[in-house]
A and B are shown apart, each in its own frame.
Chain A
Amino acid sequence: GEDVEQSLFLSVREGDSSVINCTYTDSSSTYLYWYKQEPGAGLQLLTYIFSNMDMKQDQRLTVLLNKKDKHLSLRIADTQTGDSAIYFCAEAGGSYIPTFGRGTSLIVHP
């Protein structure tokens, strides 16, 4: 079955860039997503990328997709303490029901 892998923790200093990586196995993935979960809250869509794109930029966020290697990354520029959260990578194919990774806890310290 489909599998989405991501590291569990990332610690960065405020002002630095954060890069969260994700790998997936389903070659028929149509959409790839990054969701953010703040403490005590549900997940919120942060950004998504269509499988025929290799990059998407939205303000401080840059998503890179390497479809050949099935690798997705999320770069957050100028990371702030408010970016501390759990970030979930997810992929969806034809059914559009996403498969989520285990989540990466981003810790931003001064």
Chain B
Amino acid sequence: DADVTQTPRNRITKTGKRIMLECSQTKGHDRMYWYRQDPGLGLRLIYYSFDVKDINKGEISDGYSVSRQAQAKFSLSLESAIPNQTALYFCATSEPDRPQETQYFGPGTRLLVL
């Protein structure tokens, strides 16, 4: 079974709709992240959480919100989706105190906002 899972894998929605992307992990990591990937722009950090009570904005948090329901679950919400939020979204985890702080990525959610 995959260590980091994301649901849904693909989603089409309309402008103005609220949607939620979910991420679950079985790695037991405290740190979780949400990124978006756009062609030619690489990965940009949306939000990150170092533990259940710690939520931080990343580089591009406007228009997004997150919820850390448990150590294993980190959800990303688009309050009112707009077309330029069409992108590939990745959840990732990492383990603190490891020397190299490797990030473990989920398979991604492809979102299309019409």
Contact = CB atoms under 8 A, between A and B. Distances in A.
Given A96-B94, A97-B48, A43 B42 contact: no
Contact of B43 (A8, A31, A45, A88): A88
B42 A44 contact: no
A97 B105 contact: no
B43 A42 contact: no
Contacts, number: 49
Interface stretch (B12-20, B65-73, B74-82, B95-103): B95-103
Contacts of A96: 94, 96, 101
B105 A102 contact: no
B102 A43 contact: no
Interface residues of A, number: 22
Contacts of A100: 42-43
The winner among A8, A44, A101, A102 for most chain B CB atoms within 10 A is A102
A103 B42 contact: yes
A8 B102 contact: no
Interface in A1-15: 4, 8
A43 B90 contact: yes
Interface of A: 4, 8, 31, 33, 35, 40-45, 48, 50, 88, 92, 96-98, 100-103
